[in-house]
Structure 1
Amino acid sequence: MSRARAFVFAVSLASLTVLSACSGGHEDQPKAAPQTVSGETLTVRTAPIDDIKRVGATLTTRDMGEAVARISGVLVTLNVREGDTVSKGQVIGTIQDQRLNFEASAYAATAAQAEADYNRVKTLYEKGIYAKARMEQAETALRSARAQRAAAGDLASQGLIRAPTSGKVIRADVPAGAAVMAGTSIATITAGPRVVRLQLPEQQARSLVLGQSVRLEANGLNANGTVSQIYPAIDNGQVIADITPQGLDSVLLGERVVTAISLGQRTGIKVPLSYVTTRYGLDYVRLVAANKSVSDIPVQTAPLDGQSVEILSGLRDGDTLAPYGVSK
């Protein structure tokens, strides 16, 4: 045997010795025992679950009172601003029309003249100078003048703007000194309790029921509500419903509210949150095999009611799950 061949043989023999040693050491290490479960488990089944939809709504009041101008003229004063509380019948502004004031003054002067003429004719009639027909003529003229004076005064007094209802002013954006027409809205006042007003397509609205519970979310606040009214008319394919909220007193009127409302039922797999965990953006459940061993498998979920989720994929009927934290 040459020296070169002897060297190659020695190197090969050393390599085999090292590999054998390494292999033997690996076999000696103990294998990890499979994780098993004991105690509570859950067998999943397909069953009807509520079809929860998240729909935008608006916080408002049941009714809105509009304080409008009854005559045309200049808005001389406006005594309220947004956020003020007013009472029904309270004077909140004044509109002035000089033409109406002039007419009222003219009719007042005419009524005063008719009253003076009546008194003079009455005196002469009692002395037998004037006939009864002249007396009746003066009396008729006095009644007509008084009626015209009352009508002119009432028309001029319509420049007072009064609150149509008790509540809070949410809009008063017409500045004092502005010219307004009859029928112009000067201020908007809330009337009635707060409600969350919801609009739904008519096909979905058929599932609404009076007294139905609704979850609400507004400005970071979570609250509950109840469907208190479903309006009978359809507007552009939309049905309007009012939800009476509980716990949204600090939310401003007009603010958007997200509602989670049940619009019927569908079949699916519902699992409590204690059986689901999230790691690195993925949801997992603990699947229990026939030999009681458990393994984490990924699933796709959708939120339901805050206490459970719907399994969209990853499980089937009859699978058994273990809650997280229960193993041995």
Structure 2
Amino acid sequence: MIRPTSLLSGLALAALLALPAFAGEFTAKSVTIPELKAVFGQVESSNVVPARARIGGTIRSIAIQEGQEVKEGEVIAEVVDEKLALQRDAADARIKQLNSQLDNAKLALDRAQQLLGRGVVSQANVDQAKMNYDVAVNQVTAAEADRAVIEQQSSEGSVLAPATGRVLSVPVTLGSVILAGETVGRIATGKYYLRLSLPERHATQIRTESTVLVGRRGMSTSASGGVDAARPGRIVKVYPEIVDGRVIADVDVDGIGDFFVNERTLVWIPVGSHDAIGVPAEAIITRHGVDYVRIAGADGPLDVAVILGSTFEADGKPLVEVLTGLRDGDRILLPEDAQ
């Protein structure tokens, strides 16, 4: 017959052998961590510049499409006004006419000067011929200037990209008739940023230079990867005006140049802080769906049931927040394989 005392001793020994060996300690201490709120941020471009036609006419060619990258000064479309060709021909004909008159005025002036030398005509006749010659010269100069204006207008049919960036939209098609100043394309230039629209109650908690966490592409937590996989960003501007009960803020973050303009993604922003106690993930023991942490008690190791929260960093180390079960200063026992 097995004695009860021997049976209890055997069960206790087996239970001790089944537990992991603990060799290290971690002192739990209360730290202040920020409270994060998940909101949607919308990708914006610092500037959206319209590429406008400088003359009116018909679009003969378009060299851009939505999403294309363009450089400043690049020809993105050609606008043709057929009336300019007719005006140029008319200007050429007028210049020929005035050149003929100039030649006649030059001959008349030379003849008058020769006759003046022989004493046949008076000085008044020479002065009149000189005036007619000067008028002809000025008329030719004015006609050539008019033709230069027409040439300049013809060259302005080339629509140039006003800045380097990505084409957002092309609101015209081949053969479209447009007026001077109409938009041929919209180009997003400069660095991309995230624009946040927050409830008014967070107005006093949003600060410039505060750090935020930006999720990956996608509007759900799973698609954005959660807080752990988010990239850091920085609030660079908080607008002083509240619009429709919302506070507007801009976030600077690297690596969003391949996002679509107006694309939305999750952003976690600090809206407050609270004191929390954290422990390393390896200190958590899960048995039958309940989480425990082994602490060093006065009478030896003691398993304490805990309720866990989110993960945060303290002193560069990842910790799991313990909502209940621990106190500041508790000595947490760490297993040997965690050392």
State the TM-score, normalized to the length of structure 2.
Answer: 0.68
* 1:308 aligned partner: 319
Which of 77, 82, 85 matches 1:93? Answer: 77
Which of 55, 79, 86 matches 2:63? Answer: 79
Which of 197, 204, 214 matches 2:194? Answer: 197
Aligned residue identity for 1:294: L
The CA distance in 2 between the partners of 1:183 and 1:283, in whole Å, is 70
The CA distance in 1 between the partners of 2:205 and 2:99, in whole Å, is 68
The CA distance in 2 between the partners of 1:73 and 1:80, in whole Å, is 19
Q: CA deviation at 1:93?
A: 0.9
* 2:100 aligned partner: 116
* 2:8 aligned partner: 30
% identity of equivalent residues:
21
Which of 290, 293, 296 matches 2:301? Answer: 293
Which of 222, 231, 234 matches 1:227? Answer: 234
The CA distance in 2 between the partners of 1:82 and 1:113, in whole Å, is 50
Change (3 A) 1:297 1:228: closer
Q: CA deviation at 1:180?
A: 2.9
Q: Does structure 2 conserve the Cα–Cα contact (< 8 Å) formed by 1:301 and 1:313?
A: no
* Residue 182, structure 1, aligned to residue 180, structure 2: yes
Q: Does structure 2 conserve the Cα–Cα contact (< 8 Å) formed by 1:299 and 1:315?
A: no
Q: Does structure 2 conserve the Cα–Cα contact (< 8 Å) formed by 1:302 and 1:312?
A: no
The CA distance in 1 between the partners of 2:204 and 2:42, in whole Å, is 18
* Residue 259, structure 1, aligned to residue 256, structure 2: no
Partner-residue secondary structure (3-state), 2:300? coil
* 2:149 aligned partner: 151
Q: Does structure 2 conserve the Cα–Cα contact (< 8 Å) formed by 1:121 and 1:134?
A: yes
Aligned residue identity for 1:90: E
Q: CA deviation at 1:160?
A: 0.9
The CA distance in 2 between the partners of 1:113 and 1:97, in whole Å, is 25
Q: CA deviation at 1:75?
A: 1.8
Gaps of 5+ in 1: 1-20
* 1:50 aligned partner: 34
Aligned residue identity for 1:208: T
* 1:6 aligned partner: none
The CA distance in 1 between the partners of 2:109 and 2:240, in whole Å, is 69
Change (3 A) 1:256 1:322: farther
Which of 237, 243, 267 matches 2:252? Answer: 243
Q: CA deviation at 1:89?
A: 1.6
* 1:4 aligned partner: none
Q: CA deviation at 1:299?
A: 1.0
Q: CA deviation at 1:161?
A: 0.8
Q: Does structure 1 conserve the Cα–Cα contact (< 8 Å) formed by 2:306 and 2:323?
A: no
* 1:274 aligned partner: 282
Q: CA deviation at 1:170?
A: 4.5
Q: CA deviation at 1:177?
A: 2.0
State the TM-score, normalized to the length of structure 1.
Answer: 0.70
Aligned residue identity for 2:131: A
Q: CA deviation at 1:142?
A: 2.4
Q: Does structure 1 conserve the Cα–Cα contact (< 8 Å) formed by 2:306 and 2:326?
A: no
Gaps of 5+ in 2: 113-124, 218-223
The CA distance in 1 between the partners of 2:93 and 2:287, in whole Å, is 90
Q: CA deviation at 1:92?
A: 1.6
Q: CA deviation at 1:297?
A: 2.0
Aligned residue identity for 2:291: Y
Q: CA deviation at 1:99?
A: 3.7
The CA distance in 2 between the partners of 1:102 and 1:147, in whole Å, is 16
Change (3 A) 1:173 1:301: same
